[in-house]
Amino acid sequence: FVGVGGGNDFQWCFSQVKGAIDEDVAEADIISTVEFNYSGELLATGDKGGRVVIFQREQESKNRPHSRGEYNVYSTFQSHEPEFDYLKSLEIEEKINKIRWLPQQNAAHSLLSTNDKTIKLWKISQRDKRAEGYNLKDEDGRLRDPFRITSLRVPVLLPMDRMVEASPRRIFANAHTYHINSISVNSDHETYLSADDLRVNLWHLEITDRSFNIVDIKPANMEELTEVITAAECHPHQCNVFVYSSSKGTIRLCDMRAAALCDRQSKFFEEPEDPSSRSFFSEIISSISDVKFSHSGRYMMTRDYLSVKVWDLNMENRPVETYQVHEYLRSKLCSLYENDCIFDKFECCWNGADSAIMTGSYNNFFRMFDRNTRRDITLEASRENSKPRAILKARKVSTGGKRKKDEISVDSLDFNKKILHTAWHPKENVIAVAATNNLYIFQDKIN
């Protein structure tokens, strides 16, 4: 299916927006990660305050056949609390850096959530029935005097208001000296990896007191440090393969069968630098902020500051596709360096069919690229375009001297409004876009 709007056949519409309308954004409410589960029925968000909010899609109702199921709050819980590291005199932020769902194995749902230092496995289960008529205890739970029990009865299950409970089942702590930037569940459904600035660890989901270090790029002498790990991901089908990206714009693919410590990569992906565009900022903008395998496992996508690149795993020397996200910022790099925006870490995502990719930008803009038609579109997540089923209009940034009507000039872009986190439903054309403290959900228009 086609994932990008602009043509007659396909358009994106506003569906829902979650979050406060206030201009004053509380820092704790800033969304820091968004993730659909495997079926797309659940959508999880994490925020800077350490909370996780899970939305569930309602069943499509017969009353409103034109709108797909809406996402409503299913569960909210405090995943991480701020901590203080006494040995180092430092506060550990409670901000949720990543959430990754585990494949569903029973009625309950499980996910991994992580802050800078600690990963937690949460089980979310719901109860909508309760048992009544116990023999050994009263309705209020008090034990009955056994001598008073004269007859036996079978407890009956009665419906109750749905109660959703989240409980921490595993806490994977004390394995990372540096800040965790990625977690990724392996295709074997038994292990997962976590990556910080200098190391990648492999865990078993059942074992919390041990993890295997599989990548360590910490130099013996920290003064020699020039490169850090920025993201890591497990291959979607090959449980022995994973990749990690670096601040120098390189990606290393590793095979865990080759050695216990995967310091030597199996494949090394790097695009040669274009000498004509070299500047003092070249390295910074080449730093990869996100890496994602395609669902097929044949490709991977990387996001650096100005572009998104699609790589064929069989070709290491250059990407097969490059998409410019906001090339008009290239002439602004110095200002963006000064205000630190150049260090913003944008994420990227594939659609279910791997035919389209999406990533965020500034001014609450986000971009989508259709890999087949090579069409791209810029859309905006804003309250102004928030009427139900309103079709999103394509936005354009004017780069030349003349600014057309409806275009916005680079000067007018709001660099405080950045869309770093987006997610695409695994099967349908439904996308979730995090704009600071608001979560926007867009769907395709049903004719």
Partner 1 sequence: MRKRGSRPIYMPVRRRREKANMYSKGTKRKFSDGVDNKAVAASYSLQRQSLLDMSLLKLQLCHMLAEPNLCRSVLIANTVRQIQEEMAHDGSWQVVTEALGGSGHGPSDRLVDTEVLCQSSEQQDGGPRLYSVMGYDGCREEEVVTDKALCSVVVGDRAPALLLGTIGHCWDRGELRVEDGVSKDSGTGEEEGTKSGEGAKMATGQVFGTFEIKNGAPGSDPALEELFSDVDASYYDLDTMLTGMQSAPKMGPYDFLDSLASSHGSVSNSSCRADLNELDHIMEIIVGS
Map the footprint of partner 1 across residues 373-412, applying CB under 8 A: 399-401, 410-411
User: How far is residue 15's CA from residue 293's CA, in Å, rounded to a whole number?
Assistant: 28
- Answer for which of 222, 384, 387, 447 binds partner 1 (CB under 8 A) is 222
77 touches partner 1 by CB under 8 A: no
Q: Which is nearer to partner 1, 240 or 398 (CB)?
A: 398
Site stretch for partner 1 (CB under 8 A), options 123-131, 146-154, 334-342, 387-395? 334-342
135 touches partner 1 by CB under 8 A: no
28 touches partner 1 by CB under 8 A: yes
- Answer for which of 225, 258, 261, 446 binds partner 1 (CB under 8 A) is 225
Structure token pair of residue 20: 């406060």
Site stretch for partner 1 (CB under 8 A), options 103-111, 124-132, 136-144, 216-224? 216-224
Map the footprint of partner 1 across residues 261-300, applying CB under 8 A: 275-281, 283-284, 287
Q: What secondary structure, in 3-state letters, does the chain show?
A: CCCCCCCCCCCEEEEEEECCCCCCCCHHHCEEEEEECCCCCEEEEEECCCEEEEEEECCCCCCCCCCCCCEEEEEEEECCCCEEECCCCEEECCCCCEEEECCCCCCCEEEEEECCCCEEEEEEEEEEEEEECCCCECCCCCECCHHHCCCCCCCEEEEEEEEEEEEEEEEECCCCCCCCCEEEECCCCCEEEEECCCEEEEEECCCCCCCEEEEECCCCCHHHCCCCEEEEEECCCCCCEEEEEECCCCEEEEECCCCCCCCCCCEEECCCCCHHHCCCCHHHHHCCCEEEECCCCCEEEEECCCEEEEEECCCCCCCCEEEECCHHHHHHHHHHHHCCHHHCCCCEEECCCCCEEEEECECCEEEEEECCCCCEEEEECCHHHCCCCCECCCCEEECCCCCCCCEEEHHHCCCCCECCEEEECCCCCEEEEEECCEEEEEEECCC
Q: Which is nearer to partner 1, 86 or 147 (CB)?
A: 86
CB atoms within 10 A of CB 53: 18
Q: Which is nearer to partner 1, 198 or 313 (CB)?
A: 198
Q: Which is nearer to partner 1, 89 or 317 (CB)?
A: 89
Q: Which is nearer to partner 1, 313 or 325 (CB)?
A: 325
- Answer for which of 8, 65, 66, 84 binds partner 1 (CB under 8 A) is 84
Q: Which is nearer to partner 1, 373 or 416 (CB)?
A: 416
370 touches partner 1 by CB under 8 A: no
- Least distance (Å) between residue 178 CB and partner 1: 6
Site stretch for partner 1 (CB under 8 A), options 6-14, 62-70, 86-94, 101-109? 86-94
141 touches partner 1 by CB under 8 A: no
Map the footprint of partner 1 across residues 149-168, applying CB under 8 A: none
Residue type, 117: K
- Answer for which of 123, 169, 295, 330 binds partner 1 (CB under 8 A) is 330
Q: Are 81 and 50 in contact (CB under 8 A)?
A: yes
335 touches partner 1 by CB under 8 A: yes
- Answer for which of 22, 24, 138, 340 binds partner 1 (CB under 8 A) is 340
- Answer for which of 83, 255, 312, 428 binds partner 1 (CB under 8 A) is 83
Site stretch for partner 1 (CB under 8 A), options 82-90, 104-112, 250-258, 263-271? 82-90
User: How far is residue 421's CA from residue 435's CA, in Å, rounded to a whole number?
Assistant: 8
The C-alpha angle 287, 289, 294, rounded to 5 degrees, equals 120
327 touches partner 1 by CB under 8 A: yes
Q: Which is nearer to partner 1, 140 or 224 (CB)?
A: 224
User: How far is residue 369's CA from residue 357's CA, in Å, rounded to a whole number?
Assistant: 5
- Least distance (Å) between residue 232 CB and partner 1: 14
State the number of binding residues for partner 1 (CB under 8 A): 66
228 touches partner 1 by CB under 8 A: yes
User: How far is residue 312's CA from residue 309's CA, in Å, rounded to a whole number?
Assistant: 10
Residue type, 93: E
Map the footprint of partner 1 across residues 410-429, applying CB under 8 A: 410-411, 415-416, 418
85 touches partner 1 by CB under 8 A: yes
Q: Which is nearer to partner 1, 341 or 353 (CB)?
A: 341
Q: Are 440 and 16 in contact (CB under 8 A)?
A: yes
- Answer for which of 216, 344, 376, 407 binds partner 1 (CB under 8 A) is 344
Q: Which residues bind partner 1 (CB under 8 A)?
A: 27-28, 30, 48, 81-91, 93, 95, 177-179, 197-198, 221-228, 230, 247, 275-281, 283-284, 287, 327, 330-341, 343-344, 399-401, 410-411, 415-416, 418, 436
